[in-house]
Structure 1
Amino acid sequence: MTSLKSGHSEGEESIYMLPKWTNPQIFDLDHSCVIMKDRRVHFLFMRRSVLVNSQRECRNMSEVSKCLLEDFAVELMASVSADTLEMQDLAFGLLRDAYDRDSSVFVVGNGGSASSASHFVCDITKNAKPEHGRGLRATSLTDMSVLTAYANDVSYAEVFSRQLESQARPGDLLVVISASGRSPNIVEAVKTAQALGMRSIGLLGHDGGTVGHQVDVAVLADSADPGIIETVHLGMCHAFTRALRQHTASVPELASV
């Protein structure tokens, strides 16, 4: 399958050859014009059009694997809209402000999102730090001993909020990573952050769930597939790290120890 290309100017038309599909569905985003002719799809690029969701005729396991990988890549692209990118920019603004003010950033998540939380903190504390200067103060609240202590002695719904009460200060930043946006401990963490005078970012999925209406900035991966959502979230974390690295290197008066 030929991948969708970037860099098309407004009004430009491009044609892509597709593999043999059964019941293809074309999603029209940002008012772009999409015309289906035989196995050719004509895209009139006003901003962004994405081809998603196919059921194909695959003859063997090799073709099945290839189809699944291609579908995953296309669905991944479809889950990131212009709104997603706009909110991602706003979220980066909060991270950049936290660095400039020397505030702390706390990151939380459950399951695969807990892994993403730890991964994100590793990246922004190590890879976004200038060679000679201070980095961003960031902590993942996913330490197993602390989590299980609160889960056993208090409740799992409070494993993050209790840690924020002990460590966070007004003006600090909370980043929650959640595919559903409905996990009780994530909801409680955001409530506690609000009570403490913190700002908050949500890397969320689909409609954002309960948390989508609570955080200051909600960045949504528009998909119901947890694998797609988690992949988008990790990609966002890498983008944030790259942008933070550029920012910390560009402000030597702030980066100096």
Structure 2
Amino acid sequence: MDHSAFFEREFAEHQEVAAATRAQLAAPFARLVELTAQAIRDGGKVMFFGNGGSAGDAQHLATELTVRYTRDRAPIAAIALTTDTSSLTAIGNDLGFERLFARQVQALGRPGDVAIGISTSGRSANVTAGLKAARDGGMHAAALGGGDGGDLVGLADPLLIVPSRTTARIQEMHITLGQMLCGALERTLGLVPKDT
């Protein structure tokens, strides 16, 4: 294997997807920031969820909000629905894996909260069920997707679809967009100076 050629190909594809994401997702990103900021101002919270690498992203982003992103500041209410092993195993065993996030959204969510599902394919049944539960409960159902958006289209709004079909590139953009959301929320909520 030519490691240098592989390295260059991976970076080239990453840069192409990053440029396309930048060109296409500014408007839905701005809507996500404003929607989420308003939910926090109103005393609500953000719930993140996804499977596999997207579960890791959910935990990462919830932590950035509850602890800190750029500097010490007041906490932002956020939770990852991927971390409570007792709930996850009980729901999976008793209600089925498809209900993993929906049940937690029903239990923990309140009208006006923001549920952000993360799915590279847009076809994760438990993610779409979680977003449906959010909508049914008067919450905002938003998502990070990829490819053609899959089942997230028409369900999540705002929906940030990364213009790629390569899972790794979609995941790279998801964490970039998620961290940008954290930084934008800190500034929009006045928790850090806007010029930092």
Separation in structure 2 between the aligned mates of residue 73 and residue 211 of structure 1, nearest angstrom: 23
From the two aligned structures, give the one with the greater helix fraction: 2
Q: Which amino acid aligns with 2:55?
A: A
The Cα shift of 1:250 comes to 5.4
Q: What does residue range 139-150 of structure 1 map to in structure 2 within 5 Å?
A: 139-143=79-83, 144-150=85-91
Separation in structure 1 between the aligned mates of residue 168 and residue 110 of structure 2, nearest angstrom: 34
Q: 2:78 aligns with which of 138, 154, 165?
A: 138
Contact kept, 8 Å, 1:204 with 1:218, in 2: the verdict is yes
The Cα shift of 1:242 comes to 1.1
3-state SS in 2 of match to 1:135: coil
Residues 1:87 and 2:87 aligned together? no
**Count of residue pairs the alignment pairs up:** 192
Separation in structure 2 between the aligned mates of residue 216 and residue 250 of structure 1, nearest angstrom: 26
Post-superposition Cα deviations, 1:216-238, rounded to whole Å, max 9, x if no partner, equal 21011000001010100000111
3-state SS in 2 of match to 1:107: strand
Q: 1:175 aligns with which of 116, 126, 136?
A: 116
3-state SS in 1 of match to 2:27: helix
Residues 1:159 and 2:100 aligned together? yes
Contact kept, 8 Å, 2:113 with 2:140, in 1: the verdict is yes
3-state SS in 1 of match to 2:25: helix
Contact kept, 8 Å, 2:70 with 2:183, in 1: the verdict is no
Contact kept, 8 Å, 2:49 with 2:80, in 1: the verdict is yes
Larger Rg: 1
Separation in structure 2 between the aligned mates of residue 168 and residue 210 of structure 1, nearest angstrom: 22
The Cα shift of 1:83 comes to 2.8
3-state SS in 2 of match to 1:147: helix
Separation in structure 1 between the aligned mates of residue 31 and residue 61 of structure 2, nearest angstrom: 18
The Cα shift of 1:74 comes to 2.7
Q: Which amino acid aligns with 1:247?
A: T
RMSD over aligned CA atoms reads 2.1
Residues 1:106 and 2:47 aligned together? yes
Contact kept, 8 Å, 2:123 with 2:151, in 1: the verdict is yes
Post-superposition Cα deviations, 1:235-257, rounded to whole Å, max 9, x if no partner, equal 01111111112223359xxxxxx
Separation in structure 2 between the aligned mates of residue 211 and residue 73 of structure 1, nearest angstrom: 23
3-state SS in 2 of match to 1:160: helix
Q: What does residue range 173-212 of structure 1 map to in structure 2 within 5 Å?
A: 173-212=114-153
Residues 1:225 and 2:169 aligned together? no
The Cα shift of 1:141 comes to 0.4
Query: Which stretches in structure 1 are left out of the alignment for 5+ residues?
Result: 1-59, 252-257
Higher relative contact order (CA 8 A, sep 6+): 2
With over 3 angstroms needed to count, the CA separation of the structure-2 counterparts of 1:243 and 1:64, relative to structure 1, is same
From the two aligned structures, give the one with the greater strand fraction: 1
Task: Report the counterpart of residue 189 of structure 2 in structure 1.
Answer: 248
Separation in structure 1 between the aligned mates of residue 94 and residue 120 of structure 2, nearest angstrom: 27
Query: Which stretches in structure 2 are left out of the alignment for 5+ residues?
Result: none
Separation in structure 2 between the aligned mates of residue 243 and residue 208 of structure 1, nearest angstrom: 24
Q: TM-score, normalised by structure 2?
A: 0.89
Contact kept, 8 Å, 2:118 with 2:143, in 1: the verdict is yes
Separation in structure 2 between the aligned mates of residue 191 and residue 125 of structure 1, nearest angstrom: 25
Post-superposition Cα deviations, 1:109-154, rounded to whole Å, max 9, x if no partner, equal 011000000001011111159846x422111000233212211111
Indicate the percent of aligned positions where both proteins have the same amino acid. Answer: 28
Q: Please, which moves more after superposition, 76-85 or 200-209?
A: 76-85
